[in-house]
Every structure is written in C-alpha cells, then in structure tokens.
Amino acid sequence: MKKRSIKTQLILSFLTISILIIGALSVLTLSLMNNHFNQFVEEKQNELMNQYVDSLELIYQSNQHKWSETELEALTQKTMENHLYFSVDSPDNKTIWQLPKTELKKTKHTLKKHADKVSKTKGATLNEEVVVTKPLKEKNTSFGQVNFYFYGPFAYTEHDAMFISSMKKSLMTVALVALLVSFIFASWISQKLSLPLKHVSQFTHQLTVGKYTETLPQETSINEINLLIDSLNDLSYQLEKQANLRKQLTSDISHELRTPLATLKGNIEALMDGIWEATPERLQSCYDEVDRLTRLVGNLELINKIEEKKEALVMSEFDLYDLIQSIMINFSSKIEEKDLRVTAEGKSLMVTADKDKMNQVLTNLLSNAIKFTQKNGQITFLLKQEKYKTILQVKDNGMGIEKEQLPFIFDRFYMVDTSRNREIGGQGIGLSIVKGVIEAHQGNITVESQLGIGTTFTITLPN
C-alpha cells in the first residue's frame, strides 16, 4: 500500500468528497433545469401553435369556408419567424394546401440551417424533423387539420438555445469555483490538523531517544488534539521523573550496599590479619551488617512482588482496632524511651484484609512517627467507618515534611533528610511498601504535612 502524509490524505479525502457532492448536485441541477426548461419551451410552443390554429380557423371562416392561398402564404412567413411551417389537410387526410415545392424546399433548407447552427454553437440538439397535428374546427365540427413541421425535439429559438448554453456554462463555472474553494478549504483544514500532529510525531520521537525535558505547546482549538498534547506532556513528565528515580535508585542502592559491605570488608580483613580478635561483639557487628543487607534485599523483593501483584493477599476478617492496640504494645519500649503519648481513637471495627500485610503497614507508619517525633510528642491513631469505606489516620506533631518533598515520599529510597535517616537506620523503602500494600487492597493513602507542626497519613480501604 502506498503511504502518504496525513496532509496529503486529508486533502485527497476532502477533494474526493467535494467532487462527489458537487458532481451529484451539478448533475441533479442540470437534469432539473433541462426538464423544466423543456417543459416551458413545449408549453410556449404549444400555445404558439394554438394561436396559429385560431388564425387558420379565422381565415377559413372569413373567406366563406374557403382557403385563401395569399393569406396562408403570409401566415407561413410568420410561422417561419418561429422556425416552423405548416400544411393543411381535409378531414379525410388529403392535402388541401402546402407550400409550393420550390418554396417548401427553400423553407426546409432555412429551418435545417437554423437547426444546425443552434446544435453546433448553442448547446441544444435539433437533429430530427418533428410533425405536430392539430384539428381545425368550427362550432365543434372538424373541417380539417393542420400539420406543423419543425426541427426538434422542440422548436428552440436561438435565444432559447443560448439560454440553455449559458446556464450550462454558468453551472460548470460554479462547479469549478466550488472545487477550487474546496481545495483551498481542504488545504487549510489539513494544515491545521497535520501541523500539530507533525509536532506530536516529532515530540514522541524525542521521547523514544530519551529526551524528556521538552514540552508541547497547546496550539490548536481542537479538544481531542489538545487532550493528546496534554497526555504526551504528562507522559514526558512521568518518563523524566522515572528516569531521575532510576538514577537516584541506582545511587541509593549503591550507597546502601556500599556502607555495610565496606564495614564487613574492614572487619573481616582486620580479623584475618590478626589485628582484631574474633570477639562476640565484633562478630555481632558483622552479623548486624549482614542482617541489614538481608533486610534491604528482602524489602526490595517484597515491593516488586506487591507492585507486580505476584504477592497474593491472604484475606481474612479481623478487628483493625485490636491490631492497632497490639502494634502499640510492640513499640512500648521505644515509646517510653522518648516519653511519647500514643493513643488510639475509635472503636472495634471489623475489616476484611491481609492481616499480616496490614500489620506491616501500621508498623512502618508508627515506626516513622516515633523516629520523627520529638520527646514528649503526641501520636494518634484515628479509626472511623463511613458508608462504603474504612478510614484510618496516623497523626503526629513531629518535625513535619516540606511541601516540595511530599509528592516523592512514597518513592523507593526517597528520604526527606538523607543524613538523618542514615543515622537512625532508615532505608527509604518503608513508605513504598506501605503504598504498595494499600493499593493491592484497592485502597488509597495520602499525606498532609506542615514543617515543624506535624504529619498526617490517611488510609482509605473499601468495605
């Protein structure tokens, strides 16, 4: 199949439609015009022949029921002005009067010459001799008949034929002008449609080679194209964001692995060189670093399984309020260490979810709240049920998060304060796991925070 540009295809499509429509309208108009004009000419010609019949009846009556050749010849000359001639027959179809042979031959030649002239130059075809017979009557009694002869199908005058020819030329001119206007309009429309699509094509090509920084301007009044441009701009933003996250992920994983590996390598080298003795404390230090690496790899595997929906949920019905209480008891030592006030507001509420994974979600949220809340701070669990959903909020009055950092806190390895998280053992994975688990339950998690005032995580689960 031959390939064309969208501009060429649009122009060809518009022109094809225009030609079909204009052609059909032209043919219909020409047919109607011919039919109506022929009907008009026929009625006019019939009326004219009836007038000549009246004249013949008057000649017959005024000459005491006899025919006057002089008057008949004079009437013939008059009919010649309308490009026809006549003969008169008796009731038994015998010719009573007709032009003499010489005059008849001359008359026929004149009419044929006129017919040829009209046929060649005026757009009408007069190529056959037509005979129309009308009765002659006196007081409803027939005394003969008159035969009118002309070249037809109708006895067009030169003016009639010129009118038909002019109408055809005018119609052709209108059709050509309409086609020209259609071409100009098709070119304008195709340019208007193809130019932004050409920009879209070039932009998507830039995306395929990894250039995400540019954006497409909205330059059309067509909603669908503007929506496409918005979608591509959003895609570019998301791809740029993902590219930056991949770079950051590589850097963070390298850092997370480098620190324990460097510690392990140094400790093992010291033990191998006999600088250190293999005391329980030094072996424990090595074990802690190995454990840190194991947890990091395990968390990464867990996130991947949750996001790829390979980690099946084990659904069961349990009391979410009781689960919150048990988690608070598990963190009692850390809570007492910082003199925090941790409370749970609400009442017993049965939910159907994966209890182990919800335990992990609440554990991560409470652990973060404890880490970033100053001594004597307040942490509150708020549990409530609405018509079609269960809402759980975890509030603290800790350090808070800057507004610019809120969109990224659920990204892997993203940490609000990198140096502080390193010191307290954070890896920037906990909130990624939380989000993955909640979305696996068809739920949603949002965060609100003000620097220096506190943070609120809101979890919404379907009932």
Q: Write out 320-344 in H/E/C secondary structure.
A: HHHHHHHHHHHCHHHHHHCCCEEEE
Q: Which residues contact 43 (CB under 8 A, 6 or more apart)?
A: none
Whether 459 contacts 361, CB under 8 Å? yes
- 213: three-class secondary structure by DSSP: coil
Indicate whether this model's pTM tops 0.75: no
Handedness of CA 82, 85, 90, 96 (dihedral sign): positive
Cα–Cα dist 250/244, whole Å: 10
What CA–CA distances, in Å, run from 452 to 371, 375, 420? 14, 14, 16
pLDDT of residue 54: 92
pLDDT of residue 444: 94
Strands 389-396 and 454-462: antiparallel
Residues of the chain with pLDDT under 70: 1-4, 6, 121-124, 154-158, 212-222, 245-246, 248-256, 259, 295, 299-311, 412-428
pLDDT of residue 253: 66
pLDDT of residue 424: 43
* Nearest partner of 150 among 211, 208, 108, judged by Cα: 108
pLDDT of residue 320: 94
pLDDT of residue 423: 45
